[in-house]
Amino acid sequence: SECPEAHQITTAMSILSKMIEDDEANIDDSLELDGRPRLLLHTLSMTNSEPLGQEAMVRYRQAHHLTGAETFLTHQDEEICTVVDMSWKNQKTLTIRYVNNKISNTGMKTINDYDTYVSQDHSDYLLSDDDGWDRYLDQHIGLWYSGTDMDKCNERAIWLRNEIENDNIPYAERSESDAHLFYIGYNGPMTWEYQF
């Protein structure tokens, strides 16, 4: 069984067509994918058993503070499905979508079972005193702060660390030569990565 609202395209086809047209006019041959058409990402959808739950609200609040993300309750039907979309004014065609389809065929396990398993994995490996890591951190949405002011990067990192610790959200943190990274295990199977 389906939730039709989970499949809606949020960008007008005329805008998507124009983007493809513009892209084809400016193709860099070094980026060709063996002659195949290039991809145009417009919506990234994922399951989430509680897209309106407390931990989800933390995700939306933090994403708004750090990136300007806006969150919209696109559809809610207590019997069928809930759809929550996130989008950015500077990324007009990109939507990140959380869907709880209550009537989907999931087999013996439910979406809530999966979310609970991932949350337990995060708790077991990330909330310890060790520098933990779990396999679900590799399944992430990555957002990169492109500012060059190191003080701003540090301010954002300090703010985020305080927020996720105050909200008791499992996370991992690491540094690379060119970035400081946070992998945040919000509810659901998709981790968010912030790079400063």
Give 130-153 pLDDT, tens digit per residue.
667 888 888 888 888 776 777 778
Residue in the block written with tokens 């590799």: 138
Between 10-19, 65-74, 147-156, 168-177, the lowest mean confidence (pLDDT) is in 147-156
Tell me the backbone φ, ψ of residue 148, rounded to 5 degrees: -105, -5
Between 9-18, 37-46, 51-60, 116-125, the lowest mean confidence (pLDDT) is in 37-46
pLDDT band for 73, please (50, 70, 90 cuts).
very high
Helices (H), the chain: 13-25, 54-67, 111-126, 150-166
Residue 4 makes CB contacts below 8 A (sequence gap 6+) with none
Amino acid at 77: D
Cβ atoms < 10 Å from Cβ of 15: 12
Q: Which of 64, 122, 58 is nearest to 88 (CA)?
A: 64
**Torsion from C-alpha of 75, 93, 15, 73, nearest 10 degrees:** 10
Here the tokens at position 93 are 């065609």
pLDDT: is 31 or 60 the higher one? 60
Mean pLDDT of 47-52: 94
As a whole number of angstroms, the distance between CA 196 and CA 175 comes to 10
pLDDT: is 20 or 123 the higher one? 123
Here the tokens at position 60 are 């939306």
Q: What is the pLDDT of residue 118?
A: 92
Q: Which of 140, 97, 96 is nearest to 118 (CA)?
A: 140
pLDDT band for 30, please (50, 70, 90 cuts).
low
Residues 65 and 84: beta-carbon distance below 8 Å: no
pLDDT in tens, 105-120: 778 888 899 999 999 9
What is the pTM for the complete model shown? Answer: 0.85
Mean pLDDT of 150-173: 88
Residue 115 makes CB contacts below 8 A (sequence gap 6+) with 47, 48, 49, 50, 187, 188, 189
Mean pLDDT of 15-42: 68
Q: What is the pLDDT of residue 16?
A: 79
Q: Which of 139, 145, 150 is nearest to 188 (CA)?
A: 139
The DSSP call for residue 154 is H
